[in-house]
Structure 1
Amino acid sequence: MEKPYVIGIAGSSGSGKTFFLNSFLNHFDQKDVTLISQDDYYIPANTKTREENRLYNFDLPTAIDRASFYNDINELFEGKSILKEEYLFNNPNAKPRMLKIEPAPILVVEGLFIFHYEEVNKLLDYRIFIDANEEIALRRRLKRDLEERGYDHDDVMYKWINHVMPSFQSYLFPHKEECNLVIHNNTDDPEVINNYTRDIVNELKVKLSGL
């Protein structure tokens, strides 16, 4: 199998990255693209040291099983399938699925630290940075964590101030200027995002046809 064309997609928390990513992937035939997500390589929380307020910090490069993440990307390069249990953010009421990640001509690698991990960054052919104004990103984060995950408001705000934003500034923002495309995603209109991703995908398909 020839080396896949590798697209790296990273975004700040609350940037709308998940919706953007799903819309982006929907513009491809399933056989042509596969996704590997850094989030599925979190080291279990029970192996971490809690802070004084008894919160784990998941927004550090060391929170990820970096070696396994890199190894599985290379397995896909070699045409091998990956079996990986999905990560459910320590939700004890949810049963994780076993994910089967198949090799494909286009590989999408996504996650907060994909540009920071030098060995992963070197594998990327095209880099997309998704950003949003901080107040919009925080509003989205609060809605997700309070409504969908049932987290405590004070805990969410503590993590935002002490974990999320410092990590973004240290490990993602410095790579913004290196990216091929920077998207300022301050809209919650799905049609705007769908149109935007369609245009991006069409440009990429033209680029790939010339390789």
Structure 2
Amino acid sequence: MNKPYVIGIAGSSGSGKTFFLKSFLNHFLPEQVTLISQDDYYIPANTKTREENRLYNFDLPTAINRKAFFHDIKQLFEGNTIYREEYTFNNPDIKPKMLEIKPAPILIIEGLFIFHYEEVNNLLDFRIFLDADEPVALERRLRRDLIERGYDHDDVMYKWINHVVPSYNAYLLPYKPICDLVILNNADDPKIIDDAANKISVDLKEKKLDISII
């Protein structure tokens, strides 16, 4: 198959990336677009070195199986279907699904480090940077980790201060100037997503790709 049109989407923790992605994908037919997420390539926590306070740092580029992530992206480029076990963030109450990731004309690659990983960044045709003001991002992070993942409040705050913010500043923020579209997503506003999808659609047409949004 021809090389897919590759969209990279990265966002700070609490930037509303999950909401954005779900809504954004709805603007395209299932056969037009596929998504591969960096999150599904975390190295298992029990293989990592622990910090003195016994909290893992998941917010480092070395927390991801970078080689496997890039390998599977290239497999999609070659028209192959990928099977990958869903990462459940060590939540014992969730049984991981087996993900089937099929090649498609539009490939979305998402994750915190996709611009930092040079081999991935070099494949991107269009880069979207999602951000949110820190109080909004932290409130979203607390809501997600306390309710959805059952984490302890003190652990969440420790990780935010010592892992999340330093990682964002080191591995994502420096790439903001190179992105084609920067979105401040404080309100999960559907219009923001519609505008982004329309901008992508225009870019696709300019590249003579016969794909339109729905």
TM range (shorter): over 0.9
Question: For 2:77 and 2:194, how far apart are their aligned partners in 1?
Answer: 30
**1:24 corresponding residue in structure 2:** 24
Q: What is the Cα deviation at residue 92 of structure 1?
A: 1.3
Q: What is the Cα deviation at residue 168 of structure 1?
A: 0.2
Question: For 2:209 and 2:39, how far apart are their aligned partners in 1?
Answer: 33
Aligned length: 210
Question: For 2:204 and 2:122, how far apart are their aligned partners in 1?
Answer: 22
Matches for 1:163-178 after TM superposition, within 5 Å? 163-178=163-178
Question: For 1:112 and 1:194, how far apart are their aligned partners in 2?
Answer: 19
**1:145 corresponding residue in structure 2:** 145
CA contact (8 A) 1:86 1:97 kept: yes
Distance of aligned partners of 1:103 and 1:86 in 2 relative to their CA distance in 1, 3 Å threshold: same
Give the counterpart letter for 1:58 in structure 2. Answer: F
Matches for 1:61-210 after TM superposition, within 5 Å? 61-189=61-189, 191-209=190-208
**1:43 corresponding residue in structure 2:** 43
Question: For 1:200 and 1:89, how far apart are their aligned partners in 2?
Answer: 33
Distance of aligned partners of 1:28 and 1:204 in 2 relative to their CA distance in 1, 3 Å threshold: farther
CA contact (8 A) 2:115 2:175 kept: yes
Unaligned runs of 5+ in 2: none
Unaligned runs of 5+ in 1: none
Question: For 2:172 and 2:5, how far apart are their aligned partners in 1?
Answer: 22
CA contact (8 A) 2:81 2:100 kept: yes
Larger deviation: 52-61 or 192-201? 192-201
| Identity across matched positions, percent | 69
Which is helix-richer, 1 or 2?
1
Q: What is the Cα deviation at residue 204 of structure 1?
A: 3.6
* SS of residue paired to 1:195: helix
Give the counterpart letter for 2:118 in structure 1. Answer: E
* SS of residue paired to 2:172: helix
Deviations 1:172-201 (A, max 9, x none): 000000001100101144x33443344334
Alpha-carbon RMSD across the aligned residues, in angstroms, is 1.4
TM-score (norm 2): 0.94
* SS of residue paired to 1:10: strand
CA contact (8 A) 1:23 1:197 kept: no
CA contact (8 A) 1:9 1:130 kept: yes
**1:11 corresponding residue in structure 2:** 11
Distance of aligned partners of 1:25 and 1:204 in 2 relative to their CA distance in 1, 3 Å threshold: farther
